[in-house]
Structure 1
Amino acid sequence: MFGFPAEAVFVAALAALAAGFVRGLAGFGLSVVLVPVLQLAIDPRRAVLIGLVSLFLIGLTDVGRIRRDAERSAVPMASLALLATPLGLWGLTTLPADWARLLIALVSLGAFVLVVVPLGRVAVPRLPATAMSGMLTGFFGGFAGMPGPGMAPFYLRGRLEPKAARASMMAIFLVVTPLSALLFVATGTGGWRDAALAGALFPAVLLGDLLGHRAFGRVTRTQWQTAVAIVLGVAALGALGKLLA
């Protein structure tokens, strides 16, 4: 199917269902779950493109929610992310695999620490925090197909309600992912066959996302923050495990 082994497509479908649920609940995390699993069965660069296309397709279902709930910080952050995405793609295609794995592991771990460790009175002014988050979002979108860890600490540490924070992250994904995917195809990093597989996986992603949205409506702010922290923690552990292996 689409030139992939049948077992790879089966694994991808199961991963898409789980990734969709995480995304519906947390507002991000689809690529955090989907891309590492796909990398076990297919080429990592192709897995990144599939993750980006999947993020864009599921983002189209949330346009109404984004327009209603997203916060204005999503605009400058998405703009900066677009500028940094080519740098991430350059890193993906030029860095040795071991260095790439180390960088992904360090950033995943750093995002997790920023979310769960109490910082007391330590705070970064909003403007530098927005700029740093936007650049990291773009870099890791291009480098690993995982924009979420770049922006999650900003929205989790802020004063926004979960509904607004979640919609803001979805808005950034919707802007960044299609242009990132086109850049992948234009540079030959991935192909249309990968995009076709992402389209075939979309029903599984959509089902998981719907279940995640339902779960989000039943959790408190603390439970939502805990769920997001768990997603980041799993990503960090997965990246470290791959590095050690």
Structure 2
Amino acid sequence: MELFAGYGTAAVIAALLAAFGSAFVRGLTGFGMAILLVPILALALAPVDAVLLANFLSVFIGLTELRRLLRGAERSAWIIITLVAVTTPLGLYALTVTSPDIARLVIAVIALSAFLAILLPRRGGLDHHPATTTGVGVLSGLMTGYAGMPGPPVVPYYVGRDIPREVAKASMMLIFTCASSVGLAGGAAIGVLDWSLVPLAALLFPAVLLGNRLGDKASGRIEDRTWRISVGVVLGGAAVGALWKAFG
């Protein structure tokens, strides 16, 4: 039976569970919603629809926290956001000319790359060269367009440095909210945005809102070292799951 955007009951239920779980991880770690959600959605939805649906949900939840994110984010976040705005349409266009099987494999490899990057040694809080920030912004934009995942370059950039956890979380969340907005605008501009995804996004949003709030409460109860370990575990699990589903 079809419910929303031409997708059946089983697909919608799976999307609800994935939305709740991925939003909990977002609240806990400051990222992870797209990395976890897009590979799962892409099993039932067309890859383009999976990416754009994740973008809708990211924008919705980001708007509920916008004041806190603007207050807590690092200045480098705005440089990355600007570069994301320029490069996201290029990644989205590449997705539209890629076969679904290849797109799913690339999305899985992107998830794996984030896990490998987080294993690199931590750097000092001031060690963010302009060239590094530029590279992160360009890669994040391309991955936003292609996979709905601005996180793989952004997460190691912030989590791998000795800066306060709340600064890292606010910076990442602000970038992801803006990146998702750009992704939706790019999709509309090149004619691949299916507006029938909006009611499906509205259906999933309460699960996202609840999961994010529960994750944020849990984050306030754990130590910084535990939080960083959680980041690595989430990235590793997402990478393994995405690769298994892609090859399976």
TM-score normalized with structure 2 length: 0.91
Separation in structure 1 between the aligned mates of residue 14 and residue 207 of structure 2, nearest angstrom? 12
* Aligned equivalent of 1:81: 84
1:4 correspondence with 2:42: no
* Aligned equivalent of 2:130: 127
Separation in structure 1 between the aligned mates of residue 90 and residue 214 of structure 2, nearest angstrom? 35
* Gap regions ≥5 residues in structure 2: none
Write the letter of the residue equivalent to 1:12: A
Is this contact kept in 2: 1:87–1:139, CA < 8 A? yes
Offset of 1:202 from its aligned partner?
A: 0.5
* Aligned equivalent of 1:15: 18
Deviations 1:139-171 (A, max 9, x none): 111101111112001001122111000000111
Is this contact kept in 2: 1:105–1:240, CA < 8 A? yes
Runs of 4+ with >4 A deviation: none
TM-score normalized with structure 1 length: 0.92
Residue correspondence of structure 1 range 145-156 to structure 2 within 5 A = 145-156=148-159
Write the letter of the residue equivalent to 2:184: A
* Gap regions ≥5 residues in structure 1: none
Is this contact kept in 2: 1:91–1:100, CA < 8 A? no
How much identity, in percent, do the aligned residues show? 43
1:177 to 169, 177, 180: 180
Write the letter of the residue equivalent to 1:35: V
Residue correspondence of structure 1 range 83-232 to structure 2 within 5 A = 83-118=86-121, 126-232=129-235
What is the DSSP-based 3-state SS (H/G/I as helix, E as strand, rest coil) of the residue aligned with 1:235?
helix
Separation in structure 2 between the aligned mates of residue 54 and residue 136 of structure 1, nearest angstrom? 21
Give the alignment's Cα RMSD to 1 decimal: 2.1
Residue correspondence of structure 1 range 22-61 to structure 2 within 5 A = 22-61=25-64
Separation in structure 2 between the aligned mates of residue 229 and residue 38 of structure 1, nearest angstrom? 22
Separation in structure 2 between the aligned mates of residue 38 and residue 174 of structure 1, nearest angstrom? 19
